[in-house]
Structure 1
Amino acid sequence: MNLRLTIAALLLLTACGGSPWVDDGTDGGTDGGTDGGTDGGTGIDGELPPGTTSPTAGAGIVRYEAKTDEGNGYVTGVTYRSKNDRLMIDGLAFDGDNVYKRGKRVGSLGSVAVYEGKPTVPDDFSGDPVTQITPHRALYGVSPDGTMKFAIVRTGGYVDYGFGGFIYQRDGGVTLPATGEDTGEFRGQATYTGKYAGIRDFKNDDGLEYATGDMTLDIDFDDFNDGNGVKGVIRNRAIFDVNGNDITNDVITALTETSERNQTRLPEIRFRVGPGVMNDNGEITGEVFSTYRNGDGALETYETGRYYALVGGENAENVVGVVVVEADDPRADNVTVRETGGFILDRGEEATE
């Protein structure tokens, strides 16, 4: 596993008005979308996360995990400080005084940086150490040009999932393929590839794990007529403990026992294909799932959840987003595992004659 990340990619971040992202700022960001509203659902059947209230194709968009009573959506600001390679995370209690240092055992998952909250913070009066809720971990991904970015923060110190959140953002607009409505001109299709990295937390158990994978996403800009067609898959998945040890086979072995059929790999996460998942602002949201075959050869559902994404660029060349899936953990009774992963994908080089 590569435990280092080229810092150059992170130095490309730029501040954006109205954004929770601040590069070398002084106040840790904005209020993280406390308005909570969005009118960007035109052409999308599923509900978009809160964030930009009047999204357009020509401007940047930021989305936050919706706040729930279970602890989701409490990350309200993210600041990257390039001088000392720190993340400042606002909104979570007992996470190390908002300061996340680069991970010691796991410093990156591929090109995605990993940060960890401090285990203790001194009492401001006595200097005595205040024990923090541990572990807190953050993933931070940025596109090479700095226009697409995501952050995911999860906590492994609660019996339930605990408090955390995710943010994903597009700086600037997107130009989607044009269509001739009168002539029915074909707008074409696109394929995007890249890496996926995630954090796994648990309900009815504590601790955290990491996940990685390879991802492909395809868009049919011509059909469906009611929102573009989108399909995607996350394959070659691997799971690591919080110290970076590969524990993929532990999960596969437990899934083999549960399914009563030999499993040779982790199930692929797939996008459910259907209309109404993408609008003309370049926003996408829909359902994801994974399956395996049981001892009788029948397909059974393993994971279910949702994906959220933004297309960006003059040639619709990039996609940034987040996937959240849940499943019964085959390694333990009455334990649910949630995987929250981020991705930044691109279309590759322009074809030449």
Structure 2
Amino acid sequence: MKQPLEGIKVLDLSRVLAGPLGSMQLADLGAEVIRVEAPGGKDDIRHWWPFVEEESTYYLSANRNKKSMTINLKQEEGKALFKKMAAQADVVIENFKTGTLDRLGLGYDTLKQQKEDVILCSVTGYGQTGPYKHLPGYDPVIQAVGGLMDITGDPEAEATRVGTPVVDIMTSHYVAISVLAALRKRDLTGEGEHIDLSLLDIQVASLGNISSSYLLKGHVSKRMGNAHGNITPYETFHCADKPIMVAAGNDRMFYQLAEVMGHPEWKEDARFKTNANRIEHRQELREQLEKEFLKKGADEWEQQLSSRNIPCGPVNNVQQVFDHPQVKARDMVQVSDHPKVGKMRTVRNPIKFKHTNIEAKSHPPMLGEHTIDLLKEFGLSEEEVVELRNKGAI
């Protein structure tokens, strides 16, 4: 079956999460993605707990459908080999600290000499320019610097990072989007591109309504726990057994909620009639709603509220997520074979095409698993491969 990115070759120098997750999106869509790693393995993510058959589950989550080869980019022979490969590649992805690729003699200008229309995607914490460009950037640090932590968590407690590496995940999406856009531009103009992605830029761009409230009104948003600063009721409530999230996003939904709660009079109550009224009397409304929610379990409330098209759902742990009937119906878990792990369950790519199947085609590669085959694919002879190995270049 034809794949959307069939025929696109990607050299992936990136490590840890943002870059590898982005290249995995391209691999899922059919690109040939080749992880270029240092001999001995320098990618921290390969060593992060927990492990299954000595393979990091963290690494396994971000590297399906790729190949792996090792090259020592600090050796001249290794650099020459990478340049030869770049001459046949469409895209190079890297997330070294700003300036590292240039110091290795493999920056954008050099890669352009190998292939005029090459696309280089550089992912860094702070970008290729600015006073912080030389600093490393890890997800929780960017969550802190970029304002996300300050608006996350209980208002009476300390600022809290989001439970997943959300900045890395968002950045991975921009990796895929920007590479696809650059490929399209190349199709139209024949020009390559150097993409400069900064985790901080992406976090700032993802502040959404929080940034708009500040830039247009001067309003500095504060932590509100699970509540919403602009809409209410739009938060979690304790039920008889566990919490439920309710997002009554407009007046019509609130009126339906009032009916289900057995308080139709709230619809005409001057304190609750409009969202602006409810914001002004937020605490009074919450106290009354909490009394009602405590009378039944979250699942029962979910059934009653959902029957009125009020967005809601219980707060599930990860086991409950994968037991959820909708998650199962959407077939979000796939099973693939791994040479060490055996049958491996992983999350499926959420993109669903009507006419194209993009499910996992190969396991996350072990370090250097495809080195020899790939070198021959790039035109090296058996003798050249042996020579590179003897010199420690691969």
| TM band (smaller chain) | under 0.3
Which is greater in Rg? 2
Highest relative contact order (Cα 8 Å, sep 6+), 1 or 2? 2
